[in-house]
Amino acid sequence: MIYTITFNPAIDYVLHASEVKAGNINRADREEIYFGGKGINVSLMLRELGVQSIALGFAAGFTGTAIEDGLSLAGIKTDFVHLKSGFTRINVKIKTNAETDINGRGPNIPKDAVDELMYKLNALKDGDTVVLAGSIPKSLPDNIYEKILEEISDRRVKAVVDAEKDLLLNTLKYKPFLVKPNKFELGEMFGAELHTNEEIALYAEKLREMGARNVLVSMAGDGALLIDENGKTHICGACRGEVKNSVGAGDSMVAGFIAGSINGDYEYALKLGAAAGGATAFSEGLAKKKEILALVNKL
């Protein structure tokens, strides 16, 4: 089974308006609601690709319930820790010709809730996958990724880590199955500015030497580079299309790679990841399977 963990899920409330004036009552032309948080995005995209996962994390209040109901309607199993106070955040995204976002802070996560999450990790077995993606809310210890990986280190669980700086670097000692920085995040980890594929491959290889089994570096509109666990470098160009909203492209790529690597074919995993990321960049929300498969065939 694949488990995703979302510490700070969100409901994205997207408002489209032709004009917005600060201090006025403005009217939207249309609105949409999406469920978000990186782990949840990965679960949604896995489901789209026909792969089951269980979404773990913290949920609170009626907004937390709405996310759980929505995920279950989408066919995703959930096993969230329910917080006794606060509510799962709502992120407001105002789209005019520019985009203005106000992201909620999210509920406070007390220590006993963290213990409850750790307890849920007992369900993970040899061969399972766990996805750790995104930043850590202020109320959680900043070594929570390491604590989780320590907790499951007695089993052969494939960890997938999509995070910045030390948050990712500190997990390498647990030999994660996959790490997915984008090229800026990779540069930032080593205090370097990366431009060419050679430079990117050099630093991706450093992450592999430090413990990561597969290193996938996403490069937005320039595609992606993978150094797989056999030390082979694969380069994949980007798909072509009109960018609508690239939020979630990275999460889609992670899901595509996981789904594509089930048979150990990393060349295909990279392609499915790039196609899922690209198709999401070309959609308002996360991409649909049909759009993704159409792009895979063109890569």
Min separation Cβ 237 and ligand ATP, Å: 9
Please give the residue whose beta carbon sits closest to ligand ATP in the complex: 277
x-marked contacts with Mg ion along 91-130 as a string, rule CB under 5 A = ----------------------------------------
Choice between 114 and 179, CB closer to ligand ATP: 179
Choice between 6 and 83, CB closer to ligand ATP: 6
Residues that bind ligand ATP (CB under 6 A): 182, 218-221, 223-224, 238-239, 243, 246-251, 253, 274, 277-278, 281
Choice between 250 and 256, CB closer to Mg ion: 250
Q: How far apart are CA 56 and CA 79, in angstroms?
A: 5
Task: Report the candidate in 216, 243, 245, 240 with the shortest Cα–Cα distance to residue 228.
Answer: 216
Choice between 56 and 219, CB closer to ligand ATP: 219
- Known active-site residue 251: yes
**Residues whose CB is less than 8 angstroms from the CB of residue 168 and which lie 6 or more positions away in sequence, other chains included:** 161, 162, 179, 181, 185, 189
Q: How far apart are CA 41 and CA 26, in angstroms?
A: 30
Which of the residues 69, 162, 251, 265 is marked catalytic? 251
Check binding of 250 to Mg ion (CB under 5 A).
yes
Sign of the C-alpha dihedral computed for residues 157, 56, 280 and 145 taken in this order: negative
Min separation Cβ 120 and ligand ATP, Å: 25
Q: How far apart are CA 100 and CA 189, in angstroms?
A: 29
Task: Report the candidate in 6, 37, 102 with the shortest Cα–Cα distance to residue 247.
Answer: 37
Annotated active-site positions, please?
Answer: 251
